[in-house]
Structures are given as C-alpha cells and as structure tokens.
Structure 1
C-alpha cells in the first residue's frame, strides 16, 4: 500500500501591524495574511500603543503582546483560526482590565 505523507511547514512571522479592524501578519516567505481584529478580542479591546507593543515568540512561531496577555501562533493566523478563548475567560480579563484602569486613574494627581 502506498501512502502519501504531507509535511506541513508553517511559515514564520516577520512583521506585524494591527490596524483599527485588522491584524496584518507578514511572513518570512513573503506572504501577508490579513484577518479580522474581531477574531482576537483582547487585541480588539487594546489601546493602539498596547497593540503596537508585540514580540516574536521563538523564531517567529508566534506573536506575544505582553500588556494584553495575548499570544497568537503563526499557524493560527495562517490557517484562519480565531481566538479559542472562552467568553468566560475573556470576560474575567476584561473585568480585571477595567478595574486596573480605574485604580490607575484614581492614583493620578488631579
């Protein structure tokens, strides 16, 4: 019996741009993948400066946004997979974020 083995080689991330409504990922092989920002609620709710503060994971296997506690793999973007975070988890994150912002605003001098 003959069998065909397909080796999936995921491209690595080279650059990232987050617009008002899209996540644009440039891959090392020259491709550019654009997906809706709504697929990643933490990015959608992030401020522009938080969205711009990203780092590559490993050799470009993924992207990390430290201030948003968000990690997205190159594979997820490449295969069109939105965030797998549950609504419950996202709700807790959003609530904690709101509380942190409120506390920070109260600490600022008037």
Structure 2
C-alpha cells in the first residue's frame, strides 16, 4: 500500500474579530475561520477592550493577547483544537486576575 503525504500550506491571519460567542479569523487565502469563544476561556472572561487588544505574531501564524497572556495559532484553529490550558491553570489565572482588580 502506498500512502502519499499531502503538504498543506498554512495561511496567515490578517484580521481578528471577537463577538459575544465567536472568535473569527480572516486568513490570507480568503477564508474566514469561526470557532466558539468558549474554546478559549481567557477570551471568554475578558472585557471587550481586552478581547480586542490583540496583535499578530510570527508573520500572522499566531495571535497574541498581551493582557490575557493568551496565544492562539492559525494551525491550531485549522485543526479545530481548543485551548489546552488545564482547569487548575485557568482557575489560578482567574484568581490572579481578581486580585489585580482589587
């Protein structure tokens, strides 16, 4: 049996939109990917201002939210991978976030 490998070129992100329940990423190949915001708890719990304070990293192959210490790759979005953060890590982040707000 012969199996051939398909080489996939990952497009770059060009623009990001965060709505009440969706993360939408416009890609350089003309596609738009939409995933549930619930996949990324730090984005879900962030204010609208912090959700929109993002920048592209790695020539558009990743998205970074400085205020939230969150990074999402285009490759992960295309693969349908939600956040891999553990519950304990997220809980600690929430607690630290609450302490900074005081």
Please name the residue that 2:51 is paired with: 51
Larger Rg: 1
For each residue in 1:42-100, what CA deviation from the matched residue of structure 2 results, as whole angstroms up to 9, or x when unmatched?
A: 00000000000000011111100000100000011111110000000000000000000
Matched with 1:27 is 27
Deviation at 1:22, TM superposition (A): 0.4
> How do 1:59-98 residues align onto structure 2 when only pairs under 5 Å count?
59-98=59-98
CA offsets 1:2-39 (integer angstroms, 9 cap, x no match): 54121121111010000011000000100001000000
Q: Aligned to 1:64, what secondary structure does the other structure show?
A: strand
Return the alpha-carbon distance in structure 2 between the equivalents of residues 68 and 22 of structure 1.
17
Gaps of 5+ in 1: 103-110
Per the normalisation by structure 2, the TM-score is 0.95
CA distance in 1 between counterparts of 2:33 and 2:2 reads: 35
TM-score normalized by structure 1?
Answer: 0.89
Partner in structure 2 of residue 14 of structure 1: 14
Structure 2 runs not aligned, ≥5 long: none
